[in-house]
Chains A and B, each alone.
Chain A
Amino acid sequence: DAGVTQSPTHLIKTRGQQVTLRCSPKSGHDTVSWYQQALGQGPQFIFQYYEEEERQRGNFPDRFSGHQFPNYSSELNVNALLLGDSALYLCASSLGLALAFFGPGTRLTVL
């Protein structure tokens, strides 16, 4: 049983560009959450998707948007990249309120 998978593993972009990160949840999980982890910090909640809708959102600007597909996979889009968007982006999946499992993350570097 594959766990949570994310792609790509690493990405380098320049300021102003747009990026799309992808996540496939663990089999049987219907809820996907995205987190941003800056160097030396704990993960910060971006948003959560359930039944293809954004259900909860953290304190992130509208430049951060997402989508969940019928197969429960999800995308995180970031527009107009800033240097401060450089971070490890983590996807976590869960079944309802059950415990979340994290994927290996995508490391984004913005130059």
Chain B
Amino acid sequence: RKEVEQDPGPFNVPEGATVAFNCTYSNSASQSFFWYRQDCRKEPKLLMSVYSSGNEDGRFTAQLNRASQYISLLIRDSKLSDSATYLCVVMDTGRRALTFGSGTRLQVQP
């Protein structure tokens, strides 16, 4: 079983749609959680950190459920520029290394 598992993609949605990505992690020692965005043939870039209380950044909302070891990302009012691969990432602070999911590809269509 992979340490971080994500929804299989790709997700093809029209502009303006709301789309949700889910992720589960297996290591209960994980202490920090993130969503990264990766454009084609580019490096991953931090989209947002994820907190148990939930956090929002404009059209993006991230949620963490530690009991279920589940992380989510909601994108509202999708834009063409949101098309990318979204990577769910966890970090065990003791190891100081990031563990990535395989990513979910989002394609927003006009």
Q: Identify the A interface with B (CB < 8 A).
A: 31, 33, 35, 40-45, 48, 55-56, 58, 88, 90, 92, 97, 99-105, 107
A-B contact pairs, 9 of them (CB 8 A): A33-B96, A40-B102, A42-B103, A55-B96, A56-B95, A88-B41, A99-B49, A100-B98, A101-B46
Partner of A104, one of B4, B42, B87, B95: B42
Mask, B75-110, CB within 8 Å of A = 1, is 000000000000100000101111111110000000
Q: Identify the B interface with A (CB < 8 A).
A: 4, 41-46, 49, 87, 93, 95-103
Partner of A45, one of B49, B87, B97: B97
- Pair B98/A43 contact, Cβ less than 8 Å: yes
B71 → chain A closest CB, angstroms: 14
If A90-B43, A105-B43 touch, whether A43 touches B96 (CB-CB below 8 Å) is: no
List of B residues within 8 angstroms of A92 by Cβ: 98
- Pair B45/A42 contact, Cβ less than 8 Å: no
- Pair B97/A104 contact, Cβ less than 8 Å: no
A11 → chain B closest CB, angstroms: 15
Instruction: Report how far A67 CA is from B49 CA in the complex, Å.
Output: 30
List of A residues within 8 angstroms of B43 by Cβ: 90, 102-105
- Pair A58/B44 contact, Cβ less than 8 Å: no
Partner of B44, one of A40, A90, A107: A90
B58 → chain A closest CB, angstroms: 19
List of A residues within 8 angstroms of B4 by Cβ: 42
Instruction: Report how far A58 CA is from B45 CA in the complex, Å.
Output: 21
- Pair A43/B102 contact, Cβ less than 8 Å: no
- Pair A44/B93 contact, Cβ less than 8 Å: no
